[in-house]
Structures are given as C-alpha cells and as structure tokens.
Structure 1
Amino acid sequence: MLLLTQVLVFIIGWVTALQNKSRETNKELPLWTRLTLSFSLSGAALLFWLNHLDSPYHRWVFFGMLLSTLGDLFMAGLIPFANHLIGGMITFSIAHVFYVVAFIQTADVTEHLFTSVLIYGAFLIIGWIFFIRNPAESKIFTVGALLYGLWVGGMAAVGLALALKLGGAWWWVAIGGSLFVLSDFLIGMTEIGKHPLRHAPLWIWGTYVAAQMGIIYASL
C-alpha cells in the first residue's frame, strides 16, 4: 500500500508539472511532491527496519535514506549552503557508504565485484569525458563530479555484485543502483556539462525515486 501511494504521488506530481505553463522546457516536480516522496521513502525504510531489527540490510538502508532526504533538502535549496549541488554531493556520498555497508553485510560479494566495478567504471569515465567534462567550469568542480560519479558507481557495482550472488528479488538492488548512476549522470550532464535535456528535472527525479525504491523494497 505504501509503495502504491508513493507511485500515485509521483504520477500526480508528474502530471501537475507537465501542466505548468510557466515552465515550458524545464518542467520539474512540485516541491510538495519531492518532499512527500523523500520523507515517505525514509519513513518506509524506518518501518522496515523496526519490523526487522536484526537485519543489517534494513538498518543501513534506513541511514542511507535518511542522508538522502537531507541531500534532497540541500538540492531543493531548503538548507542554506553556498552551493546546493556540493551540499547534495556531500550528503549523498555518505548515504552511498551506508548502502554499500548494507549490501556487503547481506552477502559476500567479492567474487563478482571486479566485473561489476569494471562495467560501471568504464561507463562513468567514458560518459564523463563526452558529456560532463566542461573546460568552461572550474577544474576542481568537473574533476569532483568525476570522483563523485565513480563513488556512486562503486555503490552500484556492489549492488550488482549482490544481485549476481543472490539473484531473485535482489536484482532490484542492482536496478536501483544503475538508476542512481543514471540520475546523477543526468545532473552532471545538464548542470556541469551544460547539455540540454528537455524536462531534465523530471527525468532526474524519476530515475532517483525509482532507484531508492529498488534499494528499499528489494528485501521484501
């Protein structure tokens, strides 16, 4: 029921955004939709942890989602910070550490890790070279985007290794990790690389919400 409610909220927000005539080329989800989804996902993660207190997966996923919600507040500009993108990078970097801890405490993934890291590493480096690297931006900023992308890719690689190890519903973790990479890649491509993407905020949030759902609901 909670998952269906979140999907319904997202659909209503998406339709509302598309009907916003004041933003014709860069429509975004209404703030109430973003906050509702972010806090409800944290609530879902907390609920699952409270129902499985002996599960390290649920415990660390909750902490990861909690940091992600903080990151969402930075990205929405609701927490004063010099640069909302940097504030989001810092908090999401910590969140991804918690997700990795959740994955590795669920199963030994070392036998599949090399292949997973190779896949995401190649994708992110090539993608950064052609779509994110921007000589007009600060070198520290663009290199930081690469390092952050590799950090997110590392989380996704561990998630893929977990799916390869356990199979079944754990493939939702791998899907969630890949959507996280895609969401952050779109941010880098549009905000740093300055490549136009019609309604980019909608696609960024769509892939982000689906990514979090994959990670949170996988173990159910």
Structure 2
Amino acid sequence: MFWVLLFATLVVAAADWVAVALDKRAAEYVLKPLTMVVLVAAALSMSGPDPSAARWWVVAALLASLAGDVFLMLEDRFVAGLSAFLVAHLLYIGAFITMGVEAMPFVLGAALVAVLVRALGVKMVVAATESDRSLGGAVAAYLAVISLMVAFGIGTARWWVIAGALLFYASDAMIGWSRFVGPFPQHRVAIMTTYHLGQVGLVLGLLGSA
C-alpha cells in the first residue's frame, strides 16, 4: 500500500507543478494540500525497521507542513505559514534525533549550512528587514531552525534524509530569495518541485524505506 500511495503522491505533486507552471490558482489550491494529505497517508501505511516514535514525529511534521501550505495560500498569512513550517522543522529534528545522529556527519552538515547562511541567508534576512522590520526577526529565527534541521538531517548519515533535507532547504531558500530579494524565471515551479521531492525524501529516509 505504501508504494501505491507514494506513487499517488508523486502523481498529484506533478499535477500541482503543472498547475503552478500554468498559473491555475484554483487547481493549485486543491492539489498543493492534497499532495501532503496523500503523503501523510503513505507515511502512516509504511512498515519498516525504525521505531514507531520516529513515524509519529514525521507524521506530525507533515501535518505541520500541510498547515503551512494552507496558510501560505491565503492572503497576509505569511508569518502564520512561516510559524507552521518552523514547527515542522523542529518535529523533523525530533525524528532525526530519534533515529540517531552521528557526530562527524552532523559537524559537516553544520559547516555546510554555515556557508549557505553566510552566502545567501544573511542577504535574505537583511532584505526581509528592509521590506518589513517586523519580518526580520521571524525570518532569522526560521533560517536558524531550518539550518539546524539540515545539519541534523545530514547527521543521520541516511542518503534519503540528506537529499530530502537539502531539497527542502533549497525550496525555502528560493521562497525567501524570490520574496525578499527578487523573483527569477519559473521560481514558483522550482519551489514546489524541490519542496515536494524533499518531503518525499524525508519520508523515505526516516521510515526505513531507503
């Protein structure tokens, strides 16, 4: 059942990417949350060697992400969406710790995100602050938490988790860049593609399917 639901997730996600590319907002409002609903069902159906505690951390993270998706589709709910995804990243960190984090990969992950924050993150925080002073602190806090999520994800030394965490990071980096620094061609398609594939990767890696 898991593989059927995972395939269904990818089909719905691909339909959402097409809707985004064609700017079909009504279809997006259905397909974007539906993708996460089906992925939650897939996570719940998966059997594997990992402790059940990790499964519930992941399901909770997916549900928080679903809430974030809904908030970000609404007008003037950016901070609410940001908060929901911040919670999702904290839940993913809980899952990574439950699954086990190795010291050396974690240190390498922390070094990598430090470079990324210095290269891209600082500019986004400054741009967010200039756009709306009240957003600067929220964006900085979010950047810190998602960077920790990536470092802990790399620390698991699981390839699916690493790929998923990095894709999620890339998606959020593109959201921040396009919103506060400047959009780039087809940025919305790139954001959604990396986001959905990142979530799928995290489910595969954390729940023992890798």
Same fold (TM > 0.5): yes
After the TM superposition, which residues 40-55 of structure 1 pair with which residues of structure 2 at under 5 Å, given as runs? 40-48=38-46, 54-55=51-52
Which structure 2 segments of 5+ residues have no match?
none
Instruction: Select 1:147's aligned residue among 141, 144, 147.
Output: 141
Judged with a 3 Å threshold, the aligned counterparts in structure 2 of structure 1 residues 60 and 189 are, in CA distance, closer, same or farther, namely same
Counterpart for residue 126 of structure 2: 133
1:34 partner amino acid: K
- Cα offsets for 1:136-183 (capped at 9, x unmatched): 3123413431331121011011111111xxxxxx20100111111111
Q: Does 1:186 align with 2:174?
A: yes
Deviation at 1:199, TM superposition (A): 2.4
Q: Does 1:204 align with 2:191?
A: yes
CA distance in structure 2 between the partners assigned to 1:32 and 1:12 by the alignment: 10
**Normalising to structure 1: TM-score of the pair?**
0.82
Judged with a 3 Å threshold, the aligned counterparts in structure 2 of structure 1 residues 121 and 14 are, in CA distance, closer, same or farther, namely same
Deviation at 1:12, TM superposition (A): 2.8
The answer on whether the counterparts of 1:67 and 1:94 sit within 8 Å (CA) in structure 2 is yes
Aligned length: 203
**Normalising to structure 2: TM-score of the pair?**
0.85
Counterpart for residue 57 of structure 2: 60
Judged with a 3 Å threshold, the aligned counterparts in structure 2 of structure 1 residues 123 and 54 are, in CA distance, closer, same or farther, namely closer
Q: Does 1:114 align with 2:112?
A: no
The answer on whether the counterparts of 2:21 and 2:189 sit within 8 Å (CA) in structure 1 is no
Judged with a 3 Å threshold, the aligned counterparts in structure 2 of structure 1 residues 16 and 113 are, in CA distance, closer, same or farther, namely closer
Q: Does 1:217 align with 2:210?
A: no
CA distance in structure 2 between the partners assigned to 1:40 and 1:61 by the alignment: 14
Q: Does 1:173 align with 2:173?
A: no
* RMSD of equivalent CA atoms: 2.5
SS of the aligned residue for 1:196 comes to coil
Q: Identity of counterpart residues, as a percentage?
A: 23
Judged with a 3 Å threshold, the aligned counterparts in structure 2 of structure 1 residues 108 and 129 are, in CA distance, closer, same or farther, namely closer
Structure with greater helix percent: 2
The answer on whether the counterparts of 1:67 and 1:95 sit within 8 Å (CA) in structure 2 is yes
CA distance in structure 2 between the partners assigned to 1:94 and 1:14 by the alignment: 25
Which structure 1 segments of 5+ residues have no match?
164-169
CA distance in structure 2 between the partners assigned to 1:122 and 1:53 by the alignment: 32
